[in-house]
Amino acid sequence: MTITEAQKKLSSGCTPIDDLIGGGFEHGIITEAYGEAGSGKTNLAIQLAISCAKQGKKAIFIDTEGFSPDRFRQIAGNDAGELAKTIIIYEPTDFQSQYTAIRDCEKIMNREIGLIILDS
């Protein structure tokens, strides 16, 4: 039996988290991660973008708090340069630019986009 793309799951890069949610994050649905400030939500989002990139897909990362290239490099390690080429980053500063970023996602969606992250 072959696994269709819709059935594959995106690994968080953390086995306990993947086990907790049934093997990884499902494609084609909205998943919300919430918690207190400093609980690791952004780190999880960056790890998911990296995991997506390692699967040969692009990720769109909309970050309303300011994307940290240093944190990305820490998580991505030696592959940071290559992986960064597959992540499209938006940093909206107000509701209008956030709306525009989300509308842009609709325009560029294709089979190469494997993940959209809205980190606010």
Please state the three-class secondary structure of the chain as a single string: CCCCHHHCEECCCCHHHHHHCCCCEECCCCCCCCCCCCCCHHHHHHHHHHHHHHCCCEEEEEECCCCCHHHHHHHHHHHHHHHHCCEEEECCCCHHHHHHHHHHHHHHCCCCEEEEEEEC
Per-domain residue ranges of the chain:
10-119
Q: What is the pLDDT of residue 111?
A: 73
pLDDT of residue 6: 46
What integer pLDDT is reported at residue 92 of this predicted model? 95
pLDDT reported for residue 85:
96
Task: Judge if pTM exceeds 0.75.
Answer: yes
pLDDT along the chain (120 residues), means of 10: 61 93 92 94 96 94 93 96 95 93 86 90
CB distance 87 to 114 below 8 Å: no
CATH 3.30.1180.20 matches 10-119: no
β-pair partners for 58 = 113
**Calpha distance 96→73 (Å, rounded):** 29
Q: What pLDDT does 27 receive?
A: 87
pLDDT confidence of residue 72: 97
